[in-house]
Amino acid sequence: MEEMEGTVDSIIWASDDGRFAVFRLRPERQHGTVSVTVNAPAPLVGQELLLQGDWVKHPRFGDQFRAASMKVSAPTSLAGIERFLASGAIDGIGPATAKRLVAKFGKETLEVIEFHPGRLKEVEGIGKKTAEKIYSSYKAQSELREVMVWLETRGVSGTYAARIFEKYSSFSLDVLEHHPYQLAREIDGIGFATADAIAAGSGVEKDDAARVAAGIDYALLQISLSGHCCIPEGPLADRTAKLLQVGRGQVREVLKSQLQQQRLAAESVGGEVLIYPQYLYQAEKKTAMDLLYLQEKAEQLSVDEPLQLVHDWEESVGLELAEKQREAVAGVLQHGIFVLTGGPGTGKTTVVRGMLDVLELQGLRILLGAPTGRAAKRLSEATGRKAMTVHRMLEAQGGRTENGASMFAKDSDEQLEADVIILDEVSMMDIVLMQHFLEAVPAGCHVILVGDVDQLPAVGPGSVLKDILRSGVIPSVRLTEVFRQTEESSIVLNAHAINAGRMPVCVPGSDFQFLEINDSSMAAERIVSLCAQELPKEGFDVLNEVQVLSPMHRQDCGVENLNRQLQAALNPKSPYKAEFVNSTQVFRLGDKVMQTRNNYTKNVFNGDIGFIESMEEGSLTVRYSEELAAEYERSELGELQLAYAMSVHKSQGSEYPVIILPLVPGHRIMLQRNLLYTAVTRAKQRVILLGTKAALNTAVDNDRTKKRYTLLAERLCHKME
């Protein structure tokens, strides 16, 4: 790693969030300037810097110094001081005032501003109010510099300084010195490891109670990311003790204290104590209470004979429903909360259309929603009615509560205006989103939850749909009879075979194929060949009609490598094609990309897919639909990933004409029946599996889905009392 000292000459570009900047530096004892990039807020013109980093060659902008660390000091030369003040960094000072200040105070100018601001009035054009403005602005810059220096001197990158100062302002140093673990909870991008390093720099001992409490919080966060709402006390203590390298007894003592202070919550079930973060405890309790409340308080519909009404509808549209389908349509006329579940081809869409028709005959206001934009679009197309995402229905505001949950305009105080709400793909909804949805549902409203309980559970914590059905408290119908089948199509039949633990029937050249390839790298090559050559020859638009899925992110047939190889084949590098390169990905004009987190400002959400349609020096634009394009600054590219291949989890709620899925021995840890079933049910025209028969057998046989620690079912059937 090289060192370079110099003075900031000009700022080329800086991101709004302070995470990336490009500037020109005038190195000491050298002529000219050099371009510097840094993952940090832009320094100020005139500031003197000590940089550590490496030289890189950018394909468009040539040689650049990529700074890994940046130490800032105030300018010391008269020219540097004047350029610093003239840069506009200090409120109340422009180029003319900067010149007068330096002419009056010389090298003592910055000292006068910081320690003797009353003397500023000695300069022509500076009155009392302007002097106060200059002092306040410079003090803020000085404090930011102090935070940066504090971090650097303790072996922590000063790049976090701007985010810390933005959050805590003048209290930043106090937080760093006395409450370092607060950073992990409250500042985006600072995790436990960074906060722990800052704490160590402040002299926090290994077994300090604050450190152990933070370790418990971190362990619970990791647990929630695995889908759990809670965890038994013993495994939590073991996990935390291993993370922190402290005694298990010490962890238990702090855990006891955290429970007494109600910073955490606990439930005893079957002789086992389960520990919750408070926000998940509240989410689970409120979800159960609201479901039971809505079930009890739903407005009774004035329908004397629901089955007769359904029969009349069947005659009017020329359909004959199966018994279970008829029971489901009638059920929504009788119950405040109703659940409809079933696999592909069982007629869920027909039933939902029937529900809508008979409910509209009652003159009811109906809202339709789904967890993702793609699922909402499918629901809208299937029903011929407007549908929206749950986030849009609740009018997500984009902010966060202190527990990290999304904030919504629609809540218990300002509820949704509807008599009936139908949600599709409910298996994708986690406990927190379900809690927010239910508290926005007005008393008397009917709620219909639709989904396939055999698909993968939500990425977030909880197993909401499965737990509701497991409780047996909420009225439900499960459709099992398959209707959507023809002699030409075996996808639906094979999906149900997989779900029942039977091997799918794979026929070469049919709509359900298995290509046996024993080598993972050769399997990856064949996937590229299918997408770049074979399927296009059959008339498929590969970018829009074919989706490669994978059980894992790493390895030859993982999402990351497949994306690299497919990008090289489908959108190769060209001297005439702009691209952005960061530490993990290359984004190129024309690339297929996916949004990976909700961005309410841009109106794009986790899982949305688009194409890069333009690139400028510091930004790119992604086209998501005819109506929607979003611009991303370079610092925001972490929100995007290539989408030539995606995980099976990310594909939920979507359908594609063709899906391609590798099943190789290296994926063994993820080869589960519900994952294979979910992948297969994404395809409308063709499924291409490739890999080893052993891996396919493993996926079909393995129905031991990872147990999630949740107590929603127990709460619904009052087993907690």
If you search the block for the tokens 């619970």, which residue do you land on? Answer: 220
- Pick 303 or 357 by higher pLDDT: 357
Lowest mean pLDDT among 321-325, 348-352, 618-622, 692-696: 618-622
Q: How high is the pLDDT of residue 505?
A: 87
- The DSSP line for 561-581 is HHHHHHHHHHS---TTS-EEE
Q: How high is the pLDDT of residue 549?
A: 93
- Pick 601 or 563 by higher pLDDT: 563
Q: Enumerate the H helices of 332-430 as residue ranges.
A: 348-360, 373-383, 390-393
Distance from C-alpha of 401 to C-alpha of 42, rounded to nearest angstrom: 29
Residues composing the chain: 721
Q: Per-residue pLDDT for 308 more than 60?
A: yes
Q: Per-residue pLDDT for 486 more than 80?
A: no
Q: Per-residue pLDDT for 562 more than 70?
A: yes
Q: Per-residue pLDDT for 219 more than 70?
A: yes
Distance from C-alpha of 719 to C-alpha of 31, rounded to nearest angstrom: 77
Q: How high is the pLDDT of residue 535?
A: 92
Q: Per-residue pLDDT for 19 more than 70?
A: no
Q: How high is the pLDDT of residue 645?
A: 92
Lowest mean pLDDT among 89-93, 216-220, 265-269, 362-366: 89-93
Rounded (to 5) percent helix, strand, coil in the chain: 45, 20, 35
Q: How high is the pLDDT of residue 283?
A: 93
Q: Per-residue pLDDT for 450 more than 90?
A: yes
Q: How wide is the angle at C-alpha 85 spanned by C-alphas 84 and 87, nearest 5°? A: 70
Which range in 109-113, 365-369, 585-589, 663-667 is most confidently predicted, on average pLDDT? 365-369
What is each CA distance from 468 to 337, 348, 411, 431, 552, in whole angstroms? 11, 18, 22, 11, 29
Q: Per-residue pLDDT for 582 more than 70?
A: no
Q: How high is the pLDDT of residue 705?
A: 65
Q: How high is the pLDDT of residue 274?
A: 92
Where does the pLDDT of residue 719 fall: very low under 50, low under 70, confident under 90, or very high at 90 and above? low
Which tokens go with 650? 């990310």
Where does the pLDDT of residue 89 fall: very low under 50, low under 70, confident under 90, or very high at 90 and above? low
Residue 56: CA atoms inside 13 Å, Cβ hemisphere, count? 16
| Rg over CA atoms, the chain | 30
CA torsion sign for 537, 538, 542, 548 is negative
Lowest mean pLDDT among 102-116, 164-178, 603-617: 164-178
Which tokens go with 125? 């054009």
Is-contact 1 68, C-beta < 8 A?
yes
Which range in 245-249, 464-468, 619-623 is most confidently predicted, on average pLDDT? 464-468
β-strands 388-389, 366-370 pairing: parallel
Q: Per-residue pLDDT for 369 more than 60?
A: yes
Neighbours of 115 (CB within 10 A): 10
If you search the block for the tokens 């910055």, which residue do you land on? Answer: 110
Closest CA to 197 of 209, 216, 211, 207: 211
Q: Which residues of 31-56 are buried (b: 16+ CB within 10 A; e: fewer)?
A: eebbbbbbbbbbbbbbbbbebebeee
Where does the pLDDT of residue 548 fall: very low under 50, low under 70, confident under 90, or very high at 90 and above? very high
Distance from C-alpha of 625 to C-alpha of 603, rounded to nearest angstrom: 12
- Pick 182 or 583 by higher pLDDT: 182
**What is the tens place of the pLDDT at every residue in 140-172?**
767 766 776 677 666 666 667 767 777 787 787
Q: How high is the pLDDT of residue 153?
A: 65
Where does the pLDDT of residue 420 fall: very low under 50, low under 70, confident under 90, or very high at 90 and above? very high
Q: Per-residue pLDDT for 584 more than 80?
A: no
Distance from C-alpha of 543 to C-alpha of 610, rounded to nearest angstrom: 10
Q: How high is the pLDDT of residue 295?
A: 86
Closest CA to 462 of 705, 676, 240, 707: 707
Helix (H) / strand (E) element for 140: namely: helix 128-153
Q: How high is the pLDDT of residue 229?
A: 93
Q: How high is the pLDDT of residue 422?
A: 94
Mean pLDDT of the chain: 84
β-bridge mates for residue 477, sequence order: 340
Q: How high is the pLDDT of residue 97?
A: 86
Which tokens go with 211? 């450190």
Which tokens go with 483? 């209707």
CA torsion sign for 65, 71, 74, 76 is negative
Q: How high is the pLDDT of residue 436?
A: 92
Q: Per-residue pLDDT for 468 more than 90?
A: yes
Task: Give the mean model confidence (pLDDT) for residues 124-141.
Answer: 81
β-strands 272-277, 231-232 pairing: antiparallel
**What is the tens place of the pLDDT at every residue in 568-581?**
999 998 888 888 77
Distance from C-alpha of 282 to C-alpha of 405, rounded to nearest angstrom: 12
Q: How high is the pLDDT of residue 604?
A: 82
Q: Per-residue pLDDT for 644 more than 90?
A: yes
Q: How high is the pLDDT of residue 149?
A: 66
Neighbours of 317 (CB within 10 A): 10
Q: In the β-sheet with 619-623, what is the strand arrangement from edge to edge?
A: 629-633, 619-623, 609-615, 592-595, 640-642
Lowest mean pLDDT among 429-438, 444-453, 470-479, 605-614: 605-614
- Pick 16 or 327 by higher pLDDT: 327
Closest CA to 266 of 284, 250, 248: 284
Task: Give the mean model confidence (pLDDT) for residues 403-431.
Answer: 84
Task: Give the mean model confidence (pLDDT) for residues 540-557.
Answer: 88
From the DSSP assignment, how many helices (H) and strands (E) are in the chain?
28, 28
* Strands (E) located in 15-92: 21-27, 34-38, 48-58, 62-73
Helix (H) / strand (E) element for 25: namely: strand 21-27
Q: Per-residue pLDDT for 316 more than 80?
A: yes
β-bridge mates for residue 489, sequence order: 486
Closest CA to 354 of 338, 330, 376, 334: 330
Where does the pLDDT of residue 199 fall: very low under 50, low under 70, confident under 90, or very high at 90 and above? confident
Q: How high is the pLDDT of residue 289?
A: 93
Which tokens go with 327? 């029971």
Distance from C-alpha of 109 to C-alpha of 103, rounded to nearest angstrom: 9
**What is the tens place of the pLDDT at every residue in 247-300?**
888 899 999 999 999 999 999 888 889 999 999 999 999 999 999 998 887 777
Q: Is 33 helix (H, G, I), strand (E, B) or coil?
A: coil
Distance from C-alpha of 330 to C-alpha of 538, rounded to nearest angstrom: 45
